[in-house]
Structures are given as C-alpha cells and as structure tokens.
Chain A
C-alpha cells in the first residue's frame, strides 16, 4: 500500500468514525425525546392514581377514628352538632342517586328519541340546526343552569304541585336531565349511525315500515352504544355539583319524596369544605364523601367504557 493510499484510508476511517459518533449522538437524542413524550403520556395515569391516593389518604383518618359503619349505616349527617356530631352519609348517597334516577327518567327517552330523530328522519337542514344546538347546550356552565333552576323552574314547581318552594329533588332532576342530554343525544346518535345500512335495508325489504325498522332493528343493534351513553350521562349527573347545590334546597334528610328538599354528596362537600379548618375530623369526613363519589363515578365510567370498547370491536 502506498503512503498516499494509507493516508486517505486513515482519513476515511476517521470520517466514518465521526459520522458513526454523530449517528449515535442523534439516536441518543431521539431516545431522550421519546422518553420525554412518554413521561407526558404517563401523566394521565399518574393524575388518576394521585387523585385516588390523596383522597384515600385524607379520608383514612376519618375511617380510623369513626369506623366505616358510622358512615355507611348512619342516615344522619350532622357534623357540626354540639352534642354528638353524626357522620352518616347514607342520606347523601340516597339523595345523589335519587336526583340521578330522576334525571335519567327524563333524559333517556328524550335523549334517545332526539338521537333517533337526528339519525333516522331529520332533513339535512334540520340536522344542521340540531347538532350545533346540542353542542351549545353542552357548553352552558352548570352554575347558569342552577341559576335558572332558582329563577325559572322553582316557581313553576311550587305553583304546579302546591308546595311552599320548588327547590327540591324534582328541580334538581330536571336540571340534571338538561345537563345529561347532550351526552346521551350525541353518543346515542353515533351508535345509531353506526348500525350498518344493510340491516335497515333488509328489514325494509321484508316489508317492515320505517318505525318497525327503527324499534326492532336499529335500536336493538345500537343498544350497547345507547346504554354506554346513558351510563356516561349518569356519571355526569352523579358528579354534578353546582346545579344540585343551587336547586335542591340542601336539607340533609333521608327521603324518597321528590318534592322534598335534599342534599347530595357533591353539595355537601361544596357547602362545608370552605368552612371547616384543614385536617379536622369533619374535614376528613368530607374526603370520605369525595372518595365514595370518586369510586362511584369511576365504576360507572369504567362500565360504560367496557361496553363502548366491546361494541366498537364488534363493529369492526
């Protein structure tokens, strides 16, 4: 090998080495960047876990001091009593479930009906009015809805049923129905739209009319999606705070009468957390309510999620 060739080979080697080093550096940088994004992705799990952990940590002292039975077996919530403070959350849970049930009784037929109307019979023009209208309805803040519960629904209920004032479970149910409607309508409509056209055509070809096709073919095929939408609406309703706080009268008592004032779990937290000193029994007890509320909505959301995922798999 001549001297010149050796030199040029050495230079080549050196060049190769630097470019290799450069490539390695780039790869390291890429890995670092990917890790950075991965950490951000993990954030959602961290936050969900963090909410669970912190609520539990703050609820635990109350469980330890008072025992679990005190909370779930007692119907009386009166933590500020001078003689014996009582921490029964049964009436609060019943109240929350009651307004939620009431809301669903109103919102489910209305929401599914509206969804069926949009997907099966509305003209294109009407659809273009309805869909944004539902988006706007979803955007109205809960505090505004609660305000209307006081100024609009309240006098109507008191006149209609002859009660002294209309701030009660019925009022809360009506307002929560309005708040749950957009979720139920838009997701049910998605589910109905996903029913294959061939199903409907087959039904029509067999001589069924459009109504029979809707009731016996389209809705049963979309049922899992519709149920998921109802579960999501239900999760919204249980966790809704401002509307029920403003419109249900806030009297913590165990009742099943829709015309009586009630106090939900969410309203209790909203009213009392601002007034109790940090890290007292009462403070911890409010976190017990928060923890129970979180677990309830978590389960409801999880069920609707499982239904939705399954149903999307079937569609594919």
Chain B
C-alpha cells in the first residue's frame, strides 16, 4: 500500500467519523421534530393530561419543570457566584485552593442518580422538606453548582486586571473594587453560564425521581412543598411506564419535542448572549 494511499484512506476515515457524529445529531433532531410537531398545539401546551394521559396536554409538566428551575437557580446562582469570586479574587495558591478546585472538578463528575440519593437523605429525610418542588430544586441546585462555579469564574477571568488595579490605586478596598469594577462587567458572562446550567438541570430526570416528581397529579402544585410533574419524568413515564404505550407514543414524542425545544432554546440564547457580550467587549 503506497504512503499516499494510506494517507487518503486515513483522512477519509476521519472525515467519516465526523460525518457520522453529525448524522447521529441529525437523526435525533429529525426524528423528534418530525414525529412530535404534529402533536403540538395550544391545547397540548395549556391543558392537563386527560383520560389516563392518553389525551390532553402536558401543561402541569411544563409548569413543574419551570417551578423547579426557579428553585435551582435561586439556590445555585448566588452560591456559585460567591464561590467563584472567592476562587478568582481572594484565593491564594496553596493546598486549600487546590483541594477546592479538585472537589469542584470531581463534583461535576458525580452521577446524577447519586445526587438523587443525597437529596433524598439530606432534604427529604434529614431536613424534613418532603418530596417536594423545594427538595427537587435544591437537589438540582447541588448538581448544577460545579458548572455554575466554573462558568462564573470564566466570566471573572474575562474582566481585565486593570479594572481592579485602577480602583485599588484610587484607594478603594478590595471588596469595593470587586463590587464596582469587576462584578458589573462579569455579570453577562455569568448569565450565559447560568442559562447553560439551567438547560442541563431542566433535562435531568434521575435526581428528581425520588425527591418530588410525581407520576400524575390531578391538581397543580399549590406551594413549593407540593409534589410536581416534570417534563423529563413525564416523558420517561409515557415511554416506559404507561399501560398503553403504543397509544401514548405520539404524546411522548410531543413531550420530547417540547423538552428538547426548551433546552435548545435556552442553549441558543446563552450562545447568542455570549456572542453579543464578546462583541460588546471588543467595541
């Protein structure tokens, strides 16, 4: 086999790999979109499931995912932001800082079901929050925390050093400099990271399985101490647990499309925001 031929063949194989990966994505998006779009209507989005989930819509699941996301953000964002400020602005290189960074990297690799177990023990059992929107939101908050910290730190890195030094040279204290000259410029970048974290949290199922998600609820949740229905869990039920799986398949596709659409919308808006923000920094 000539060298030239091996090179051609090798590069053709690499290109095939790339095309195959694109194909995977294409098939996933096409299948969900083409089979789910027919189900989507205003009624599907605004009505509760009816007739044992074989008819009606998925409104309670959309609402549940939305409410849980609010708790997740309210919990993870301040904590993640403060931790990032510590790591980037205050931390001195040393053992403690190394340990914190190691812990963050490791947390991001902890399986989501393990977060679920942790959430059951900590929030449901020890803190007596019950299986509720609050417990599930806090569990998802813990899950997103490592990503939030990393994203917020990345945002802080983009603020030029001169901004801090300028304030310090004028006699500002460190906190004053951070508050007035660093945080305002880092917020858009942090927001991008928060939205991406939210997109991931909204699609998670395993952590909410035992911390508050319900198979079916006849009423909408009245407070954060109630159980809730969630889009990913609803899809799981329609796909595997329903007594008449063939009949609810179209609704399952519709639910998958709404979930996927929501997550892609969040991801794209984050990417768009990042793009706008970078343009702004340049100008």
Tell me the B69-123 residues at the A interface (CB within 8 Å): 79, 82-83, 85-87, 89-91, 99-100, 102-107, 109-118, 120-122
Q: Is the interface of A mostly helix, strand, loop or mixed?
A: helix
Q: Nearest-CB distance from A137 to chain B (Å)?
A: 5
Mark interface residues in A43-58 (1 if CB within 8 Å of B CB, else 0): 1110110110011011
Taking a contact as CB atoms closer than 8 A, the residue among A43, A145, A212 that contacts B28 in the complex is A145
A30: chain B residues at CB < 8 Å are: 173-175
User: In the bound complex, what is the Cα–Cα distance between A270 and B239 (angstroms)?
Assistant: 15
Whether B111 contacts A41 by the Cβ 8 Å rule is: no
Tell me if B219 is interfacial: C-beta within 8 Å of chain A.
no
Tell me if B282 is interfacial: C-beta within 8 Å of chain A.
no
Tell me the A256-311 residues at the B interface (CB within 8 Å): 266, 269-270, 273-274, 278, 286-287, 290, 293-294, 297-298, 300-302, 305
Whether B91 contacts A133 by the Cβ 8 Å rule is: no
User: In the bound complex, what is the Cα–Cα distance between A243 and B281 (angstroms)?
Assistant: 41
Mark interface residues in A218-242 (1 if CB within 8 Å of B CB, else 0): 0000000000000010011011111
User: In the bound complex, what is the Cα–Cα distance between A47 and B271 (angstroms)?
Assistant: 29
A287 and B117 in contact, given A30-B174, A209-B3, A270-B209 (Cβ under 8 angstroms):
yes
B17: chain A residues at CB < 8 Å are: 109-111, 113-114, 116-117
Tell me if B136 is interfacial: C-beta within 8 Å of chain A.
no
Whether A246 contacts B240 by the Cβ 8 Å rule is: yes
B60: chain A residues at CB < 8 Å are: none
Among the 9-residue stretches A32-40, A69-77, A84-92, the one with 4 or more Cβ atoms under 8 Å from chain B is A32-40
B202: chain A residues at CB < 8 Å are: 141
**How many A-B residue contacts, CB cutoff 8 Å?**
259
Q: Nearest-CB distance from A153 to chain B (Å)?
A: 10
Q: Nearest-CB distance from B195 to chain A (Å)?
A: 11
Whether B106 contacts A121 by the Cβ 8 Å rule is: no
Whether B18 contacts A130 by the Cβ 8 Å rule is: yes
User: In the bound complex, what is the Cα–Cα distance between A291 and B136 (angstroms)?
Assistant: 21
Tell me if B52 is interfacial: C-beta within 8 Å of chain A.
no
Tell me if B170 is interfacial: C-beta within 8 Å of chain A.
no
Q: Nearest-CB distance from B272 to chain A (Å)?
A: 12
- Chain B interfacial residues counted at CB < 8 A: 83
A141 and B260 in contact, given A41-B100, A58-B121, A135-B267 (Cβ under 8 angstroms):
yes
Tell me if A118 is interfacial: C-beta within 8 Å of chain B.
yes
- Chain A interfacial residues counted at CB < 8 A: 91
Tell me if A134 is interfacial: C-beta within 8 Å of chain B.
yes
Taking a contact as CB atoms closer than 8 A, the residue among B7, B16, B149, B239 that contacts A209 in the complex is B7
15 intermolecular pairs with C-beta atoms under 8 Å apart:
A30-B175, A37-B82, A43-B83, A44-B146, A50-B122, A54-B121, A117-B15, A135-B267, A141-B205, A209-B4, A211-B7, A212-B3, A286-B117, A297-B109, A301-B106
Which residues of B approach A to under 8 Å, CB–CB? Answer: 3-4, 6-7, 10-11, 13-18, 20-22, 24-25, 27-28, 31-32, 79, 82-83, 85-87, 89-91, 99-100, 102-107, 109-118, 120-122, 125, 142, 145-146, 149, 173-175, 199-200, 202-206, 209-210, 232-233, 235-236, 239-240, 249, 252, 256, 259-260, 263-264, 267, 271
